[in-house]
A and B are shown apart, each in its own frame.
Chain A
C-alpha cells in the first residue's frame, strides 16, 4: 500500500478529500478533452435510463404477474398474448436487463480508464454493487415465468448454490426454501427479484446521487460553476435517448422468450442461459465438476472485490501514478473483459457448429413460436363448481412436434378416459404429483400422451413403476415395486395408455 502519512484511505480525511482538495483536480480531470471523449463518457446516462426502465417495466408487469406455481405461467402468457403492449413491455424488461449489464460493464471500464474511482470512490462502489445486483436480478428473473427455461435456470442456481464448499447444503436449501424446487422457491425468487433487489438498487443509486449532488453544490459555491457539466448532462440525456430508441425498436422486433409450461417439458430439452451468463456457462465446461460452484462464485467475486478495492490500493491514482502500478488495474480488467467476451463467443460458436445441438435449439425455438401462436388459455378458477361441457377448446396441433404442444391447464378431457376414471391405486399413489387426470402439475410431468414417447408400452410403464432408474428417470420419481400389487400396476399402466389413445385417437390408431 502506497499512501503517505495522513493518506490512510480509511481515515475521514481521505474519504472526504473529494470534497476539498480533490475538487479542483476533479474539475481538471473530469473535463472532457475532446468531443469523442465527452461522448464516450455518457455511459452513466445509459445506465441511469436502463435502471429506470427496468423499474418502470417491472412495476407494470407486476400488475398482471402472480407469483404462484399455478398462475405464474398463465399470467406471463396473458401479458405476452393478450394485454395490449404487453409483449413489448416484457421484451423491454427482458432485453433491457441484458443491455443494462453491458452498459454497466462499459461504465465501469470507462471509470477505470479515467481513474475516477479515486476522485469519486462512492460512485465507483455503487457501479460495482449495481453490477452484482443486476446480475442477481437476471438470475432470479429467469425463474419467474415458470416455463421450461425457468425450470432449468432454477435448477442451475440450485446446483451452483449446492456445490459451494462447506455451506453448500445450507445455501441450496435457503435458496430453494426447502429441499426441492417447489412453489416456495418461486415465491422466494419473486421476493428477491421484485422487492429486495430493487430496494437495494434504489438505495445505492440514491446514495450515489446524494454524493454527486454534494459535489456539484461545492463546485458551484467554489465559483467554478462549469459550463461543461451542463453540456455533459445534455450529452448524457441524448445518449440515453438513443439507447432508449434502440431498445424500443429491438423490443418491437424481438419477443422475450416464453416456452410452454413446465408440465409439458421434454426429456431432451437443452437449457441455455441468458447472454449475460453465457461466459459463466462456458467457463463451467472447462473446469471439473467438483470445482464448478467454487469457480462460478469465486471468479466473479475476486474480480469484483479487487475492483472495489482499487480506491484503497491505488490512492495516488490520477496523473501522479506512474509505472506498472498505475497500469495494473486497467490491464487486468481488460484481460478479464477479453476473457469474458471470448468465453461468450465460444459458447455461441460451439452451439452453432454442433449440428445436434443446433437442431435441438432450433426445435426449442420452434416450440416457443408454436406456443406463442396458440390462443391464450385462461386459468380456471374455483373449479369445484360443476364444469360446463363446452369448454373443451384445446386441441393439440402438429403431430410432428413432440409432446410439448398442449397449452396451459388441460381443460379438454377425453371422453372415454374421464368416463372410466383413474384407478384408485393411481389416485392414492400417483395423483399427488401427476395430477388427478394425468395432466401433470406445475413441477411434475404429465402422463397423458406419454405413450407417444419410445419405451412407454404397458410393460414399460409397469417397469417404470418397479424401477424408474432403469428407464433413466430421476428422483423424486421412486420405485413402487412393493407399494402396488401387480394388478394395480397393470390397471394404472392400462389407464395411462387409454388416456393417451383417447386424447389422440386418430394418431394413436396408426401405431
Chain B
C-alpha cells in the first residue's frame, strides 16, 4: 500500500538529484581562452644572448566570468626563440634569471636550471617547461599552458 507513495517520492527526489548533479557539475573545457595564441613581440626585437623576460595576459572564461591573468615567460633568442614558462616545475614559484650564475634560480626551494632551461639541481624533478610557439607576420606568438607540478614527465594541466 505504501509502496506507491514512496515510489512517487523517490521519483521526485531522483529527478531533482539528477538535475542538481548536472546543474552543479563544473563544465570542463571552459578555459577555452587558454589555447589562444598570444603575441610576444616582433622577431626583430628578440635579439641577444640573454633570456628576455616577457609579460603575457591571458583571458580565461570560468563559469560566468572571464578573468585576465598575468603570466611571465622567458624568451631565449639565442636558442631559436624557445619560450620557457617562468613557473618552477617544483611547486610553482616564478624562477628568475641569474646573470652571474648563467642560469635560472627558483627563489623558493633553490632549484637551479641551466640557461636552456634544463634541470641542474633539484628539488624540481624536471627542467623548465617550454611553451608552444609560432611565427606570424614576423611576430612571435605563444600558447600559454600550465603543467602539473612536481612530476618527472610533463603533463598539461586540464
Interface size of A as a range = 35 or more
- B residues contacting A by CB (< 8 A) are 1-2, 4-6, 8-9, 11-12, 15-16, 19-20, 22-25, 27, 57, 59, 61, 63-68, 70
The 8 A-B residue pairs with the shortest CB-CB distance, nearest first, are A237-B5, A78-B64, A241-B8, A385-B68, A84-B22, A234-B5, A378-B66, A381-B67
Bound-complex Cα distance A121 to B20 (A): 37
Q: Which residue of B lies closest to A239 (CB)?
A: B8
Most interface-central of A63, A86, A231, A237 (chain B CB within 10 A) = A237
Is A43's beta carbon under 8 Å from chain B? no
- 17 pairs of residues in contact across A and B, judged by CB atoms under 8 Å: A63-B23, A64-B63, A77-B64, A82-B64, A84-B25, A89-B19, A234-B5, A237-B5, A237-B6, A238-B5, A241-B12, A378-B64, A378-B65, A379-B64, A379-B65, A380-B66, A382-B67
Q: Which residues on the B side are within 8 Å of A378 (C-beta)?
A: 61, 64-66
Q: Does A335 contact B (CB under 8 A)?
A: no
Given contacts A85-B23, A388-B59, contact A237 B9 (CB under 8 A): yes
Give chain B residues whose Cβ lies under 8 Å from the Cβ of A78: 63-64
Partner of A381, one of B9, B65, B70: B65
Q: Known contacts being A60-B23, A60-B24, A381-B66, is A391 close to B12, with CB within 8 Å?
A: no
Contact A83 B57 (CB under 8 A): no
B156 to chain A minimum Cβ distance, whole angstroms, is 22
Tell me the nearest residue of chain B to A88, going by C-beta: B19
B34 smallest CB distance to A (angstroms): 13
Q: Which B residues are in CB contact (< 8 Å) with A237?
A: 4-6, 8-9
Residues on A with C-beta less than 8 A from B1 are: 230-231, 234
Which B residue's beta carbon lies closest to that of A53? B16
Complex: A313 Cα to B106 Cα, angstroms: 82
Inter-subunit contact A230/B2 (CB<8 Å): yes
Which chain A residues in 214-261 approach chain B with CB under 8 Å? 230-231, 233-234, 236-238, 240-241, 244, 248
Q: Which residues does chain A contribute within 8 Å of B4, judged by CB atoms?
A: 234, 237-238
Contacts A60-B24, A382-B67 supplied; 9 other A-B pairs, CB < 8 Å: A60-B19, A64-B64, A84-B22, A84-B27, A231-B1, A241-B8, A244-B15, A379-B66, A388-B68
Q: Across the two chains, which residue of chain B brings its CB closest to A389?
A: B39
Determine the distance from Cα of A237 to Cα of B7 in the docked complex, in whole angstroms.
10
A56 part of interface (Cβ distance < 8 Å) = yes
Tell me, yes or no, whether A74 is within 8 Å of chain B by CB: yes
Q: Which residue of A is nearest B8, CB measured?
A: A241
Are B64 and A238 neighbours in the complex by a CB distance under 8 Å?
no
Alpha-carbon separation in the docked complex, A60 to B23 (Å): 8
B8 adjacent to A382 (CB under 8 Å): no
Given A63-B24, A83-B23 in contact, is the A240-B64 Cβ separation under 8 Å?
no
CA distance A40 to B61 in the complex (A): 51
Chain A: which residue is nearest B30 at the CB level?
A82
Which A residues touch B8, using CB under 8 A? 237-238, 240-241
